[in-house]
Structure 1
Amino acid sequence: MTSGIMPICSAVLATAMAFSVSPSAYADDMGGLWPVKDSAVVSAHEAGLDGSGVKVGMYDFQVVSDYPGLSDAKVKYQVGSFVDVENDGPAKCVLDDGDLQAAVTSKESGGYSSHGTAMLTWLVGNGKSWDGSQGITGLVPKADVLFITGGRGNVLESNDPCQGMVGQNADKDIDAMVDWGARVINMSNIGAVGDYGYDGMLDALRHGVIIVSGRSNDKETDALVNGSSTDVMTGDPRFWNSFPGVIRNNEVGPDGQIAGISDVADANVNILSPGDQVLRPSDNSTHISVDTGGTSTGSAVLSGYLALVVQKWPDATGNQILQSLVRNTKGNDSGEAKLDPGHKRGYGQVDVARLLTVDPTQYPDVNPILEAQVTAASKLSDDRSKWYAQDCSTNPDGVGDVLDDSLPVPCQAGEIGREYERQKAAWKKVEQCRSDGGSDCMRYSATATADKAGGRTVLPGTG
């Protein structure tokens, strides 16, 4: 199974046209900027929270680098990793007009924006657009971004794939972002991790790096294609957007309702995020409209919110921030994570106000989504119960899928289960240290001891 990237914005031009408005119509109230106009975000910006010092990784389609909204953004562009699928060796992505470039200008591409461009502006945009009207204002305009280009394409046109038998190695690019120091990684797209291993994804899990992605904007859920599950939140390690521990959002509008284009049961959706009725630049003109942005925009907005939280609570680990995310959703005042039994709303809609006021360091340094998915899988009666308990030394061929035995879950998925056990055991050690009156007990946490895990998870006290 080779890797492939697909945007998760709305792919229907007719839908985009139906919601288009003139620049003057939205310039007055800027309704399409409602995720940024949230009172908690406005207050955070006024208090000096702007992403300064926070590193955010982004994996997406090629950016139009001279887009006005990115003129003062701190972005490092880098071409992604590719593999010759016939020999598993490194390869270049060669397009019809030459090697894939990390970014491209509007003159070179003939386009004015792209999927990657729009997503990037939700993080570090300055509010400008081509025609001088209101553009997207970024949630963390001063953050440092490492943008890794996984291909060329946009939401209205078919992707421009590499010529020949060349596949993406997104897992390696995740590893590069973790090594760079990213605290949050945005992947506003869906795709297969591929046959090249889970080292990068596991590296992110071990170091508490938050990965945000989404689901297909489609009312018809195909578990095989979309890495979904309609009955229980188990994750699916073959796809980066459903990899255990990854935040998988569904988009909502200003009224908190799930967008009509993706109103579907999907148990692997675990959070709701703003993405409907938002500003959306046109790829083929200077026009910008109010439209559905899909779970792509939901991912980018959520990544921006979490980057603000990282800046607000610098001592919190990524896992603790995720704990706060799922415990403090809108309407949930219990302080505990509560999944929607109907499998539509996950843990609920992100509440950025509470994330910026509730100290996350009170929570365990255990990824709650990883915990829920591994635990749920272990209780099932089908092959999913074996996914995260595998050992490559005894089961090198992986475990068959409940839908298609020709696409087995690789044996390395056992490392996912062992990583959860490591996080859980490490937190028990932190709690014991605190109970004994110790100091600096967080040095025993899973995040603090991540590098000791090396390439294979070793449980504390086992050597």
Structure 2
Amino acid sequence: MGYQPVVSTRAFSPIGRVFNLRVAGTLCATLALTGIATGYQAGPARADDRRITAADQPYYSYYHLDSARAKGYTGAGVTIAIIDGSVDTSVPELAGANITDKTPCTVNSSTEHAAHGTTIAALLVSHAYGVVPDATLLAYQSHEETSTVGSDCKPASKMPLSDLPSLINHAINDGASVINLSASSNKHDDTLKWAIARAMNEGVLITAAAGNAHEDENETSLSWWSGVIGVSAIDTDGKFASYSSWGQGVTTTAIGGPIVGWDESGKISSARGTSFSAPIVAGALAQAHAKWPNATSNQLLQLLINTAVGHEQGWNQYGGYGAANLGGMLNTDPSQYPDENPLADKGGGSSPTPAEVQQYADGLVDPTQIAYDNSYAYRGLDESQATNKDNPYPTHLGTSPRYHAK
């Protein structure tokens, strides 16, 4: 292709509440998801006058996306959210794509972070080579350590708008059916637990990258949580990628590169990483959702697992239930599968538990632990919540369905 080859991978170590971009090669960045932005940042002046095409992306032919497009499987009517860097919609590959910035506060993003967000967006919805070019893409900007965050990201006496639980809940508020996070997360607190419980309860699918340190990174991946689809990486020969991490939370695996995109210097370059595997799976789920609109999210998860290449051999910590089979998902009716979440209990004490998901559904979670969820109402018996100034949610004491179940 004439583009810069990938010659190395980079391993990241999370520090505190730092989120790390799960990508290796020339598009790498280390992120701290403590801020987001209200407008797309202008990308660097492009040094190349070439255009990136489907022929430059090995995953495009590997997954026969030309055939999918010919049959109309383009994700039309489905809304996907990415929590990532800012998206430069001026790149030619995103011309005509349906992308909206929905981030709720201000951040000035680095060019490296913006390059990553733009590459993820193009992988999903580029008309040239996106997995689901007709899907609607909502972008929620995180930020890296060198970014500056506006004061509006932390309203007085409220949770930060820029934290991951807030971003997940905002994506659900805005109607996303699938959410992708191509970064790591060592945040294991209640606000994130209840955001994921809400996603599970409302049937919103979350894909997450497994990491690039070639080690068990389960503790620092969002896929540590129940319900989250952890994605490791394979090469184009179908073998487990040398850089890919693994762990208890891995559900499936997909091509991790090379992916060609615009780097922070405005040049076309290539990279490998589970950052790219995760949105490929997000796109596959969006394709399937569009093809099978009556299927529940649980049935789509069952479809992903039961059509995966090698699923007959059972689960393992490297490839999960097997490699995502995009064609198989489009050719297999998910209505044959039970409406049961196969990731509700990943073992090893995963959370939220089914009981906790039901606790959320019943309105019995302490509302001070709920971050920007526009659907939540407290329905428990704690009378102090009616006058609690830190409770921003409607309070209907004693109305939980749990109290009225037969």
| CA distance in 1: counterparts of 2:49 and 2:89, whole angstroms | 26
Q: How does 1:420-459 map to 2 (within 5 A)?
A: none
Partners of 1:321 and 1:360 within 8 A in 2: yes
Q: TM-score of the superposition, structure 2-length normalised?
A: 0.71
1:419 aligns with 2:357: yes
Q: 1:170 to 1:458 in 2, by over 3 A?
A: farther
| CA distance in 2: counterparts of 1:172 and 1:13, whole angstroms | 26
| CA distance in 2: counterparts of 1:144 and 1:118, whole angstroms | 16
1:462 aligns with 2:401: no
Q: Which residue of 2 aligns with 1:6?
A: 20
Q: 1:417 to 1:287 in 2, by over 3 A?
A: same
User: How many residue pairs get matched?
Assistant: 333
Q: TM-score of the superposition, structure 1-length normalised?
A: 0.63
RMSD: 3.7
Query: Could you tell me how far 1:9 is from its partner in structure 2?
Result: 0.6
1:314 aligns with 2:293: yes
Partners of 1:112 and 1:284 within 8 A in 2: no
Structure 2: which 5+ residue stretches go unaligned? Answer: 1-14, 29-47, 155-159, 362-374, 381-399
Query: Could you tell me how far 1:322 is from its partner in structure 2?
Result: 0.4
Partners of 1:49 and 1:308 within 8 A in 2: yes
| CA distance in 1: counterparts of 2:123 and 2:114, whole angstroms | 13
Q: 1:344 to 1:24 in 2, by over 3 A?
A: farther
| CA distance in 1: counterparts of 2:377 and 2:62, whole angstroms | 40
Q: Which residue of 2 aligns with 1:114?
A: 115
Query: Could you tell me how far 1:37 is from its partner in structure 2?
Result: 2.1
Higher RCO (CA-CA < 8 Å; seq separation 6+)? 2
How big is each residue's C-alpha offset from its partner over 1:55-99, in whole Å with a ceiling of 9 and x where there is no partner? 11111112223222222111110224xxxxxxxxxxx6xxxxxx4
SS in 2 for 1:212: strand
| CA distance in 2: counterparts of 1:161 and 1:357, whole angstroms | 46
Query: Could you tell me how far 1:418 is from its partner in structure 2?
Result: 3.9
| CA distance in 2: counterparts of 1:114 and 1:12, whole angstroms | 10
| CA distance in 2: counterparts of 1:64 and 1:24, whole angstroms | 16
Q: 1:303 to 1:179 in 2, by over 3 A?
A: same
Partners of 1:55 and 1:145 within 8 A in 2: yes
1:250 aligns with 2:224: no
Corresponding letter in the other structure for 1:149: Q
1:207 aligns with 2:189: no
Partners of 1:112 and 1:285 within 8 A in 2: no
| CA distance in 1: counterparts of 2:71 and 2:95, whole angstroms | 24
Corresponding letter in the other structure for 1:297: F
| CA distance in 1: counterparts of 2:94 and 2:276, whole angstroms | 17
Q: Which residue of 1 aligns with 2:384?
A: none
- Following TM superposition, where does structure 1 have runs of at least 4 consecutive aligned residues deviating by more than 6 angstroms? 23-29, 109-112, 163-166, 420-423, 451-457
Q: Which residue of 2 aligns with 1:181?
A: 175
Q: Which residue of 2 aligns with 1:355?
A: 329
Corresponding letter in the other structure for 2:204: V
Q: How does 1:120-159 map to 2 (within 5 A)?
A: 120-127=121-128, 137-151=129-143, 153=144, 159=146
Between the aligned residues of both structures, percent identity stands at: 23
How big is each residue's C-alpha offset from its partner over 1:312-348, in whole Å with a ceiling of 9 and x where there is no partner? 101001110000111111134x5xx8212xx222101
SS in 2 for 1:300: helix
Further displaced range: 310-319 or 213-222: 213-222
Structure 1: which 5+ residue stretches go unaligned? Answer: 15-22, 81-91, 93-98, 128-136, 228-239, 378-383, 389-412, 424-450
